[in-house]
Amino acid sequence: MEVDDEIIKPKVDGEEKDNRKPLVVILVGAPGSGKSTFCDHVMRVSTRPWVRVCQDTIGNGKAGTKAQCLAISSTSLKDGKSILIDRCNLDKEQRADFIKLKESYQVDVHAVVLDLPAKLCISRCVNRTGHEGNLQGGKAAAVVNRMLQKKELPKLSEGFTRITFCQNENDVQEAINTYGALSSSDVLPSGIFGEKKKDTKVQLGIMKFLKRVDAPTKVASDKTIPEPSNETTKESHHVNECQEQSGTNTLDTVPTLAFPSISTADFQFNIEKASEIIVETVEEFVNKIGNGRLVLVDLSHGSKILSLVKSKAAKKNIDPTKFFTFVGDITKLRSGGGLHCNVIANAANWRLKPGGGGVNAAIFDAAGQDLDTATKKRAGSLAPGKAIAVPLPSTSPLFSKEGVTHVIHVLGPNMNPKRPNCLKDDYNTGCKVLREAYSSLFENFASIVRTQVKSSDHEFSNGDQKVRREDGAHVNEKNKKFKGFIEVPESNNPYSVDGKQDATSSGKTGGSVNKDWGSWAQALHKIAMHPEKHQNGVIEILDDVVVLNDVYPKAQKHLLVVARAEGLDRLADVTQEHLPILRTMHDVGVKWARTFLEENQSLVFRLGYHSAPSMRQLHLHVISQDFDSKHLKNKKHWNSFNSPFFRDSVDVIQEISEEGKPTINDDEKFMSMELRCNRCKSAHPNIPKLKSHITICKSPFPANLLENERLLKKVDNAC
């Protein structure tokens, strides 16, 4: 790193006191990049008074919040101390509030970017012990890779006075020496230092390898379909290594299902007939899986089923980028073959038990006890022709080592007389069941792709503000509406077992939906059940409810009143027996709204529920109607509070009292409605223009909202 830094010192010793000026240094880097080590070295050698602001320890030695970091920063600057912000700060939004300190305290704000290779960061995280934030061991790789996907390198235009880029350990040491040498009155030159242009040859090399991995191989029919050789396997290892070092992984961004041939091994199904069914079912589904890919896997290069399927797929002109065959161990596709598959299929037995032989034994063994435990939570058995998706916990070796987020168990027909339920060469029934098995398998995968469930065992977090998983894992994944569960129509229910539907009624809509809550979406449930463990985020704890601020508020004031009852995950679960707790939630919400109204009488509040919540555990939104928030960014955010999707608390209570169930308006069409002002109902083309309008709109609220106490205004004129 070529840095020509000259520390500017005061010319007159007597003026040193007047020249003292605190400094804010924002560290930017993934876990394992060396942020804490940087701080320790600088503070040890520098004569300037520094304060390290670390979110992992700010709560009396435990993880805290961004707000706490800002508070300590402000206090330190008032005392004339410089600060080192030890957080990941990988995106512009996470840095913004700290940069604002520049205006409040008239200080320079620097960024030191520890842009080290992902491979090095992961290695450090995996090998370390006793880490302050508990990010260590096997789970670290997935966390680091996911965080780096959101990386935005800082720019001077954000408000920085100076940015220093460190791209190797020598660069880091130079930066430590520079900041460690600063006295209380020293000033560093402004600008960008250490930035290097990306090596064009390296980029071209990566593209070359990508093309060679994806290059199709000729088959007898003159059609093409990719199938890696030993050479391409080595190349794909190189691709993953290059991409890992650059902090990206192109292959990881494509949802991919790897599946074995069902029933052709232990169940002795005719291979020729099976290959026909595989190709026909793939052809039916290949355009229903969005940007996903289907990969048929077998261990042997001489596999007859792979050869037949490859030939038949080529004849049908099936897109080879959407479906291809692959030779390798289905439990080691990434580490052993360079192919990343986030979903794998298991040719299961009807008891959904480990053991036996073949694929079933291999997958259960590779996934560890976590898969068996997670499977038992889903179902105890499986009927032929059915499939069931099981999200893998991040503690599973298949998750941490191979990047597998889901295992889909699927059971085909049996033609082996030594196995249970043998069809005795009844191929009319057998072909029908096998076709159903593949259809159910691909439907499960399509559901995962549609809902973009990219991680099934993560925590819920706000940038660097974390709600910690029970196993201590830290993952930064933002709360996205409708991304917390898999939603499947009743006719395509992937969680049906033995032909029986396990669905919950959706109220008057008559629909039926199953939800597979991702682990981050369990955060509210964990807080409700054990609020004493989350006291930093909870503002009131009662016997029946807890109250907390929404992590991503969509208005000036936005609270959640969360039920503490087990089994009450969402509005569709509510019956007349839950009326007492609904009334309690409403009363607590009203109390808090009126508390806020005493502080600001211009606010107007609405209390209600989302028809299809993104977080598990029934929660009531108490939200001011100004919608003045940087977190309100898109049409779904707006319409989730300003369409029939949002059910007013008073209406829900009335409907349950009279009819036993509330109406659930969970049709996706409500999310795509045009943007209309919540007062005058005028239409607007985008969120910025809508926000600009609602700040000046003085029209009265619609008549229906002014009835039945749907809105709460100032105390002396409450509705």
Give tens-digit pLDDT for 371-387: 999 998 888 888 999 99
pLDDT over 60 (residue 223): no
**What's the confidence (pLDDT) of residue 127?**
73
Q: Which residue has the higher pLDDT, 394 or 74?
A: 74
Q: Which residue has the higher pLDDT, 20 or 311?
A: 311
Binning pLDDT at 50, 70 and 90, where does residue 711 land?
very high
Q: Which residue has the higher pLDDT, 45 or 208?
A: 45
In this prediction, what percent of the chain has a pLDDT beyond 70? 77
Return d(Cα 595, Cα 436) in angstroms, integer. 57
Helices (H), 255-342: 271-285, 304-315, 333-337
Please state the rounded mean pLDDT for residues 33-49.
Answer: 90
pLDDT over 60 (residue 1): no
The predicted model scores a pTM of 0.37
Return d(Cα 622, Cα 620) in angstroms, integer. 6
**What's the confidence (pLDDT) of residue 226?**
39
Q: Output Rg (C-alpha) for the chain, integer angstroms.
A: 29
Positions marked active-site: 619
Q: Which residue has the higher pLDDT, 390 or 290?
A: 390
pLDDT over 60 (residue 510): no
Residue 472 sits at the vertex; the CA angle it makes with 470 and 474, to the nearest 5 degrees, is: 120
Do residues 599 and 633 touch, judged by C-beta distance below 8 A?
Answer: no
Structural domain spans, the chain: 13-193, 203-457, 533-717
**What's the confidence (pLDDT) of residue 537?**
75
CATH homologous superfamily of 13-193 equals: P-loop containing nucleotide triphosphate hydrolases (3.40.50.300)
Lookup result for tokens 């890992």 = 244
> What confidence tens digit (pLDDT) does each residue in 633-658 have?
999 999 999 999 999 999 999 999 99
**What's the confidence (pLDDT) of residue 717?**
43
Q: 323 phi and psi, to 5 degrees? A: -150, 130
Q: Distance between alpha carbon 291 and the CA centroid of its chain, in Å?
A: 18
**What's the confidence (pLDDT) of residue 378?**
83
**What's the confidence (pLDDT) of residue 337?**
73
Return d(Cα 159, Cα 331) in angstroms, integer. 48
**What's the confidence (pLDDT) of residue 568?**
92
Please state the rounded mean pLDDT for residues 113-142.
Answer: 73
Please state the rounded mean pLDDT for residues 442-466.
Answer: 56
**Lowest-pLDDT range, 338-342, 426-430, 619-623, 685-689?**
338-342
In this prediction, what percent of the chain has a pLDDT beyond 90? 46
> What confidence tens digit (pLDDT) does each residue in 447-456 have?
888 765 443 3
What amino acid is encoded at 590 in this protein? V
Do residues 240 and 251 touch, judged by C-beta distance below 8 A?
Answer: yes
**What's the confidence (pLDDT) of residue 362?**
92
**What's the confidence (pLDDT) of residue 147?**
81
What amino acid is encoded at 450 in this protein? R
- Provide the CB-side half-sphere exposure for 65 (13 A, CA): 12
Please state the rounded mean pLDDT for residues 250-256.
Answer: 64
**What's the confidence (pLDDT) of residue 682?**
93
**What's the confidence (pLDDT) of residue 128?**
66
Rounded to the nearest 5 percent, the helix, strand and coil shares of the chain are 40, 15, 45
Do residues 406 and 392 touch, judged by C-beta distance below 8 A?
Answer: yes
pLDDT over 60 (residue 368): yes
Lookup result for tokens 């450090």 = 124
pLDDT over 70 (residue 140): no
Q: Which residue has the higher pLDDT, 126 or 407?
A: 407
Lookup result for tokens 């509510």 = 574
pLDDT over 80 (residue 512): no
Please state the rounded mean pLDDT for residues 70-87.
Answer: 93
The most distant pair of C-alpha atoms in the chain lies apart, rounded to whole Å, by 100
**What's the confidence (pLDDT) of residue 697?**
94
pLDDT over 70 (residue 492): no
**Lowest-pLDDT range, 75-79, 347-351, 475-479, 483-487?**
483-487
pLDDT over 60 (residue 425): yes
Q: Which residue has the higher pLDDT, 622 or 226?
A: 622
pLDDT over 70 (residue 541): yes
Please state the rounded mean pLDDT for residues 194-222.
Answer: 41
**Which of 602, 646, 644 is closest to 626 using CA atoms?**
602
**Lowest-pLDDT range, 134-138, 315-319, 370-374, 484-488?**
484-488
> What DSSP designation does 288 have?
S
CATH topology match: 13-193 vs 533-717 = no
Please state the rounded mean pLDDT for residues 126-132.
Answer: 65
Topology adopted by domain 533-717: HIT family, subunit A (3.30.428)
**What's the confidence (pLDDT) of residue 585?**
96
**What's the confidence (pLDDT) of residue 139?**
64
Please state the rounded mean pLDDT for residues 661-676.
Answer: 90
Return mean pLDDT, the chain.
79
**What's the confidence (pLDDT) of residue 491?**
33
> What confidence tens digit (pLDDT) does each residue in 303-355 have?
899 999 999 999 998 888 889 998 889 999 888 777 889 999 999 988 898 87
